[in-house]
Amino acid sequence: MKILNFDGCVTLKPEREVLKYYARLLKELQFQNPAAKTRFSEKAAAVIEEARAHFARLICAEPSRIIFTSSGTEANNLAIKGFIAANRAKPNAALTTYYEHSSVLAPLKSAAAAGWSFTQTAVDPERPEKASDAIARAAGKVSLASFILASGETGILYPVGKMAEIARGLGITVHSDACAAAGRIRVDANALKTDMMSFSAHKFGGPAGVGALFVRQGIRIFPLIEGGVEERGMRGGFYNAPAIGAAGLAAKIAMERMDEREVKLKGLKKFLFEAINSAIGGVRWVSGPSSPLSFHSSLILSNVNAESLISELSAAGVVISPYSWCVSAAKTPDSLIHAGIGAGEAAGYIRICLSHENTEKEISKLVSCIAKSAAIKNKFKE
């Protein structure tokens, strides 16, 4: 059975060139130590530094400011826990939003248990002044802020640049989780005024197991993983040079083909929007064709249980997802509630995340499967 994958918010399939390069590096570099000072380690070290340069270009940063990690989750933890550990003399409070990934909220909750505190604010991309007021009220009370750039759950792009400018003007260090955005849309850490930024290779077609944290010059953080000289002492552990090298190539390809992919994805999203509206009644769009993330669509199907629908589609070889696999199905996440989605609506909430490899034919099959399932459920309720 051919699998039709519309779960691209979670991870993207690597390009053929990336897989071939990864396989080649596994043969050539697997047993070389990039941190060693021998001629045998030079190639592995060069591959890592080339990848670092490609990662840096994704967010318009200097390569020297990129720290490789094992994931976006680790990068978020390093930013938050590392900052808190290194800046104990500063106000022991943080500010964040209701839309953050669990790998931002969990370390903040851990810090709160150890004496720190944090508050969350709502953000309306159309009216950012509410968030600006919350940031202004944090002056002198907060030393760290973490603002997600794009939500993989709702497809909303947040005004991080405006928020970060206010926060940094008040002496607050700003971190942004850009995992859902970097490599898919243009991201500029300098234009966004961020001090730290997390991103993840498998989100833009690299192998899983490689992430990165940008840390601006002058920002102090302590490492999470100590005991090695790797990453200037900021992240100890033997390098996975083949994976990092392949991730670097994926970053390069993502930059080179971003505009081309954007054009295709906008067309596919428009086709999806029109097909669903034509085939299914009672649809409320959260992330429709005009939303800024061309690969992300999310909608609420009335009288349809999303979990049952996803299970049925999976049996037919079609993969979509609920609001997030990282969130317990038992609780509607705050990110949805504060995006104006009630607990009842959340039960019918699905997201369809496209990739540049999807086709209109595949989308037609997806819509047909959803329409069939929705019709059966509605008929049963009648």
Q: What is the pLDDT of residue 328?
A: 46
SS3 136: helix
List residues bridging with 215 in a β-sheet: 196
Is domain 16-253 classified as CATH 3.40.640.10? yes
Report which of 202, 207, 137, 146 is spatially closest to residue 170, judged by C-alpha positions: 137
pLDDT tens digit at each of 382 positions of the chain: 688 999 988 999 999 999 999 999 999 987 888 888 787 789 999 999 999 999 999 999 999 999 999 999 999 999 999 999 999 888 999 999 999 999 999 999 999 988 999 999 999 888 888 888 999 999 999 999 999 999 998 899 999 999 999 999 999 999 999 999 999 999 999 999 999 999 999 999 999 999 999 999 999 999 999 999 999 999 999 999 999 999 999 999 999 999 999 999 999 999 999 999 999 877 999 998 888 999 999 999 988 888 889 999 999 899 998 765 555 454 667 778 777 888 778 888 999 999 999 999 999 999 999 998 766 444 334 3
Residue range(s) of every CATH 3.90.1150.10 domain in the chain = 4-11+257-381
For the chain, where do the domains classified as CATH 3.40.640.10 start and end? 16-253
Output Rg (C-alpha) for the chain, integer angstroms: 21
Q: 188: how many CB neighbours lie within 10 A of its CB? A: 13
Longest dimension (CA), the chain: 74
- Name the percent of the chain in helix, strand, coil, to the closest 5: 45, 15, 40
Q: What is the pLDDT of residue 321?
A: 85
* H or E stretch at 5: strand 4-5
Number of Cβ within 10 Å of residue 301's Cβ equals 25
Number of neighbours of residue 156 by Cβ within 10 angstroms: 22
* Residues in contact with 65: Cβ distance below 8 Å, sequence separation at least 6, in sequence order: 56, 214, 215, 216, 217
pTM over 0.85: yes
What's the CA gap between 245 and 25, in Å, rounded?
A: 8
Domain 4-11+257-381 CATH superfamily: Aspartate Aminotransferase, domain 1 (3.90.1150.10)
The reported pLDDT for the residue numbered 39 is: 78
